[in-house]
Amino acid sequence: MGKKVLITGCKGQLGRDLQELAGNYANLQALYTDIDTLDLTQSSNVQDYVNKHCPDFIVNCAAYTAVDKAEDEEVQAILLNVTAVEHLVAAAQQINAAFIHVSTDYVFDGKKDTPYLETDLVNPQSVYGHTKLMGEKAALAYNRSMIIRTSWLYTAVGNNFVNTMLRLGAERSELNVVNDQRGAPTYAADLAEAIWTIISKINKGEKTFIPGIYHYSNEGECSWFDFAQRIMALGQRPCLVHPINSSQYPTKATRPAYSVLSKEKIKTNYGLYIPAWDEALVRCFQKINIEHKPKI
Residue 25 among the catalytic residues: no
The crossing angle, in degrees rounded to 10, of helices 224-234 and 277-291 is 40
Which of the following is catalytic: 64, 128, 142, 258? Answer: 128
Q: Which residues pair with 149 in a beta bridge?
A: 103, 215
Which is nearest to 122 in space by CA: 103, 101, 107?
107
Number of Cβ within 10 Å of residue 34's Cβ equals 17
Is the Cβ–Cβ distance between 126 and 253 less than 8 Å? yes
Radius of gyration of the chain (CA): 19
Q: Which CA distances in Å does 175 have to 3, 9, 63, 152, 238?
A: 48, 33, 30, 19, 11
Distance CA 64, CA 80 (A): 6
> Could you give the angle at which helices 13-21 and 188-203 cross, rounded to 10 degrees?
50
Q: List phi, psi (to 5°) of 46.
A: -65, -45
Compute the half-sphere exposure of residue 229: CA atoms within 13 Å on the CB side of its CA. 10
Q: What 3-state class would DSSP assign to 154?
A: strand
Which residues are catalytically annotated? 128
